[in-house]
Amino acid sequence: MPATERDQSVVHTGVLADLPVTREATTSRVLVNNPLLRVVDFAFDEGQLLTEHTSPRAVTVTLLDGSMDFDLDGNTHSLTAGDVIYMAPGASHALRATSACHMQLVMVDVDA
């Protein structure tokens, strides 16, 4: 049976150093992308936002540094470094960076 992307290990080092916060911008880097799992790191400058949207996948968000206001299903949560949110598939969410920050997003395809 041939190996799939899901069966291959991946290592990324120096991720935050390679994804600096850019003035007045939101940037991202895909770290893992296979049929089961997608891991994306984001860098937000203060004041940057992602407008309200949903995902068909189950999602965890970990704030790696800085701070943000994270709206989930109509409730706003003030996050600081180390805070984690789990979102069920289809959950409505948005965010606003209240300082320069890095966030990691992990999406799992619950049907894979």
Backbone torsion region of residue 73, taken as left when φ is above 0, otherwise alpha when ψ lies between -120 and 50, otherwise beta: left
Structurally, the chain folds into a number of domains equal to 1
Q: Is residue 5 part of a domain?
A: no
Identify the CATH number of the domain in which residue 64 sits. Answer: 2.60.120.10
Q: Is residue 46 part of a domain?
A: yes
Q: Is residue 6 part of a domain?
A: no
**What domain range includes position 72?**
26-108
Q: Is residue 7 part of a domain?
A: no
Q: Is residue 100 part of a domain?
A: yes
Confidence of residue 8 (pLDDT cuts 50, 70, 90): confident
Confidence of residue 20 (pLDDT cuts 50, 70, 90): very high
Above pLDDT 90, what percent of the chain?
88
Return the pLDDT at 1: 38
Cβ-based neighbour number of residue 106 at 10 Å: 18
Cβ-based neighbour number of residue 93 at 10 Å: 20
Q: Is residue 17 part of a domain?
A: no
DSSP 17: H
Q: Is residue 3 part of a domain?
A: no
Segment holding 58, helix H or strand E: strand 58-65
Measure the CA–CA gap between 48 and 97, rounded to whole angstroms: 5
Above pLDDT 70, what percent of the chain?
96
